[in-house]
Amino acid sequence: LFLGFCVPASNQIRKFLFVKTEMSWSKAQSYCKEKHTDLATVHSQEEADQLLNITGDSLSDTAWIGLYRDDTQNWQWSNSDDVIYSNWTADLFCASVNSQGEWEDRVCNEKKAFMCYNGKGLTVSILTTATPFDLLFVFTETSNIAERYTLIEELKTWTEAQQYCKEHHTDLVSIKSASENEDLVKKAQGKPFWIGL
């Protein structure tokens, strides 16, 4: 579906053109590059307002702009400009893990099971050093995944899940390796769940 904005190739500064033809993001980008310059980049609230004003009442849903996720899952503008401004819908992107262990960005107010990190699995050792005022605290995590993480099967939004984890455990889980991801997916037994990302 392409209802989108192109930037015409001209000497004018940041002029936008609204195209009402429906097509995919990649076809929209090709169209804009062939006929104009590229899909629109948005660097300020003023430019976001300008895009909205251009559409008038003809924008019933959404329209493409030049923002996409690259191979490393970072947001990039199609013309390589730096992403210095964003205007995401509130509560739109929260991370969950699906039944195959893949991470997904989801609408934050969906209700899902979630995985809490249990900070109680940490042990603290206090080591004294040469001077009486120096103490060294060493935090060691337990290797038992059952003690470190708790799956909460009660369905909650991401915000509710984070609040629950902070009140009853430590926080939503943060995953630091592929093996940890695999362990958590096994613990969840195929249920998708919120993570702290």
Tens digits of residue pLDDT in 74-121: 788 888 888 888 777 666 677 788 887 878 778 888 888 877 766 654
Pick 135 or 88 by higher pLDDT.
88
Residue 87 lies in a domain: no
| pTM, rounded to two decimals | 0.52
56 and 103: one domain?
A: no
What digits encode the pLDDT tens for the residues 14-60? 678 888 888 888 888 898 888 888 888 888 888 888 888 887 766 66
Q: Which residue has the higher pLDDT, 112 or 147?
A: 112
112 and 174 co-located in one domain? yes
pLDDT band of 68, cuts 50, 70, 90: confident
Residues 98 and 190 in one domain: yes
Instruction: State whether 190 and 99 are in the same domain.
Output: yes
Question: Three-class SS string for the chain?
Answer: CCCEEEECCCCCCCCCEEECCCCCHHHHHHHHHHHCCEECCCCCHHHHHHHHHHHCCCCCCCCECCEEECCCCCEEECCCCCCCCCCCCCCCCEEEECCCCCEEEECCCCCEEEEEECHHHEEEEEEECCCCCCEEEEEEECCCHHHHEEEEEEEECHHHHHHHHHHHCCEECCCCCHHHHHHHHHHHCCCCEECCC
Going by pLDDT thresholds of 50, 70 and 90, the confidence category of residue 7 is: low
Residue 173: CB partners within 8 Å, gap ≥ 6? 115, 116, 117, 149, 184, 195, 196
Instruction: Note the pLDDT of residue 123.
Output: 44
> Does residue 83 lie within any of the structural domains?
no
Domain that holds residue 111: 94-194
Please name the residues in contact with 6: beta carbons below 8 A apart, sequence gap of 6 or more. Answer: 16, 17, 19, 31, 32, 35, 36, 37, 38, 39, 40
The answer on 173 and 138 residing in a single domain is yes
Residues 109 and 185 in one domain: yes
State residue 15's pLDDT score: 76
Contacts of 139 (CB under 8 A, 6+ apart): 122, 123, 124
- The answer as to whether 68 is a domain residue is yes
Q: Are residues 118 and 184 in the same domain?
A: yes
Residues 99 and 14 both lie in one domain: no
Do residues 13 and 3 make contact, with C-beta atoms less than 8 angstroms apart?
no
Residue 86 lies in a domain: no
Residues 53 and 118 in one domain: no
Q: Look at residue 35 and tell me if it is in a domain.
A: yes
* Domains contained in the chain, number: 2
| Whether 102 and 160 share a structural domain | yes
Flag whether 22 is in a domain. Answer: yes
Shared domain for 46 and 15, answered yes or no, is yes
